Structure 1
Amino acid sequence: MKIAFIGLGHMGSGMAANLVKAGHAVRAFDLSEAAMAQAVSDGCIGAPSLEKACEAVEAIITMLPGGQHVLSVYSQVVEHAPKGALLIDGSTIDVDSARQVATQAQVAGYPMIDAPVSGGVTGAKAGTLTFMCGGPDAAYERAEPILKQMGKTVIHAGAAGAGQAAKLCNNMLLAITMIGTCEAFALAEKLDLKDQVFFDIASKASGQNWALTSYCPVPGPVPTSPANNDYQPGFAAALMLKDLGLAMQAAAQTNADTPLGSRAHALYEALCNQGHAAQDFSYMMERIRRGA
């Protein structure tokens, strides 16, 4: 299949590379020359412009920083893409922007789904991402086999915007559980429990959670966690703050009560303001240890 991939950041580059490995002809475009060079090295065809990237393709996938970028890019995509080409946006953006661009695509005659991902840079490279999809059944059925070549779990959450809703709720929950996990380790240390001992107990007890067992915020117990690589992401604290901001925006719009989500947002905002935006979101462990 001929696929355009627009947006080759830390996530997009790994995803595009996996599509190449699956046998697709991937035409890649990004404003970054370094990202383009990496994509070509991975087997993609470098496109000199967004317009050229969209020529004669059957599907277009985007991984972009925010809602304004998605709206801007798709205003151009619907002018240049072949009619009927499948549009898949893997960006994490606000629900309203996702629904707006889906309506724009529908009016222009393009099937589209929003398909934000979970799994981080490691999952993007390994092809083990989870995709949360929103959009019409027919568009999802066309997208599913493509997404399965970049991830291990693909779930249809509902109509347009439902994928974004699921992603924001999931990441708010992840932030809350990561902070709680860090607090528990910090308290355990002050009570003279070794990290490995507490991990061995909590991972088999009622405190078990993904942030503990798969992404442990202290060095040692989970060798693949960023804590064992000087908290290099992974999933940067700045990205977690972005997702929490979107969750808080959605909570305000729907009058949802999210006291722990609000506190998590405040803590990650403080962490980023202290100069740790580029470190993994599990670096929250160090902030809690310091108590500031």
Structure 2
Amino acid sequence: MARNLRSKMPRADPLFVLDISQATLDKFVEETGQDAASAGVEEGACQVQVAKNAREVAEKADIIITCLPTVKMVKDTFAPMIKEGSLPETLQSRFVDAPVSGGAVGAQAGKLSFMFGTDVDSEGLVDYLKSVLLLMGTKAWHMGGQGCGVSAKLANNYILAINNIAVSEALNMGREWGLDLHKLTELINSSRGHCWPVEVNNSVPGVVQGSPASKEYTPGCPVSMINKDLGLAMSGASDAKTPLLLAETAREAYNKVDGEYQGQDFSVVYQYLSRRSSA
């Protein structure tokens, strides 16, 4: 995300970055420098500055973008920004919830989709926010007031969580029935079963090159993360008194899969099923 952000930002604007991994920061600075050199940009024109801490980011940046997977990480990031002295001007303006969809593959390709929520109290605000988000992706939807971005993301990921299990079950059935899974995938992609977990994040190793399954289930989206979103969707549905017929079964399945394949991509559900089929 940040690499695409730097490449599309005005060259004179500095980009401040912060990550818990120093190795990741070093690699990012090196890669953005190479990108700038390849594009014929003058040395030092596309500035990337590594911040010492979150407070420094808040004090120096006009726009702060965070991409954090857990509530604890959000608290740990924002607490230092606001605990010392007066609140930085950046944090006195507005917060926009802007969850992202597209996974690691979409992030690298600059093809992420954003759904954001904020109250509109000034002309041009939505267009301005879209212009910022589209530096990292290709689509951005204003879903309503504050919190609506998160609600839209949870609705979308509820479908994804259920769909991923169904796809893994179907492909595992196909394998047990002796079907060629490359051909089955091609068929599904041309039929009404077509969906992202089949076409892009296919759970069978070797069927889709570059998918997590084809890289030993190296996560784009770890099992724990989709399980977290599923739990949040279930909690929100309960508060709204909205029934979810498949949620408990899916939750139980992901709890079991995460217990055996912690840290791996959520498409590893296929591996969980296939090993039980052969048992």
TM-score exceeds 0.5: yes
User: What is the identity, as a one-letter code, of the residue corresponding to 1:218?
Assistant: V
Query: Structure 1 residues 220, 38: CA separation in 2 closer, same or farther (over 3 Å shift)?
Result: closer
Higher strand share: 1
Give yes or no for contact 2:54–2:78 (8 Å, CA) kept in 1: no
1:65 aligns with 2:69: yes
From 90, 93, 118, give the equivalent of 1:135. 118
Query: Structure 1 residues 161, 241: CA separation in 2 closer, same or farther (over 3 Å shift)?
Result: same
Query: Displacement of 1:66 after TM fit?
Result: 2.2
Partner secondary structure for residue 65 of structure 2 = strand
> What's the Cα RMSD here?
2.2
Question: 2: CA distance between counterparts of 1:239 and 1:186?
Answer: 23
Detail structure 1 runs of 4+ shifted over 4 Å in the superposition: 78-82
1:240-291 deviations in whole A, cap 9, x for unaligned? 12211212221222222112122212111111111x1211111110111123
1:133-184 deviations in whole A, cap 9, x for unaligned? 0112344332211110100111111111111111111111111111111111
Question: 1: CA distance between counterparts of 2:86 and 2:112?
Answer: 29
1:21 aligns with 2:7: yes
1:32 aligns with 2:21: yes
Question: 2: CA distance between counterparts of 1:162 and 1:118?
Answer: 15
Count of residues in correspondence between the two structures: 254
Question: 2: CA distance between counterparts of 1:38 and 1:80?
Answer: 33
Q: Work out which of the two has the higher radius of gyration on C-alpha atoms and give 1 or 2.
A: 2
Higher mean displacement: 130-139 or 142-151 = 130-139
User: What is the identity, as a one-letter code, of the residue corresponding to 1:289?
Assistant: S
Determine what percentage of the aligned residue pairs are the same residue: 31
1:251 aligns with 2:241: no
Question: For residue 279 of structure 1, what is the aligned residue in structure 2?
Answer: 264
Question: 1: CA distance between counterparts of 2:86 and 2:65?
Answer: 14
Query: Structure 1 residues 141, 287: CA separation in 2 closer, same or farther (over 3 Å shift)?
Result: same
Question: 1: CA distance between counterparts of 2:76 and 2:275?
Answer: 42
Question: For residue 112 of structure 1, what is the aligned residue in structure 2?
Answer: 95
TM normalised by structure 1 equals 0.79
Q: Which segments of 5 or more consecutive residues in structure 1 lack a partner in the other structure?
A: 1-14, 86-104
TM normalised by structure 2 equals 0.82
Give yes or no for contact 2:204–2:270 (8 Å, CA) kept in 1: yes
From 165, 175, 190, give the equivalent of 1:189. 175
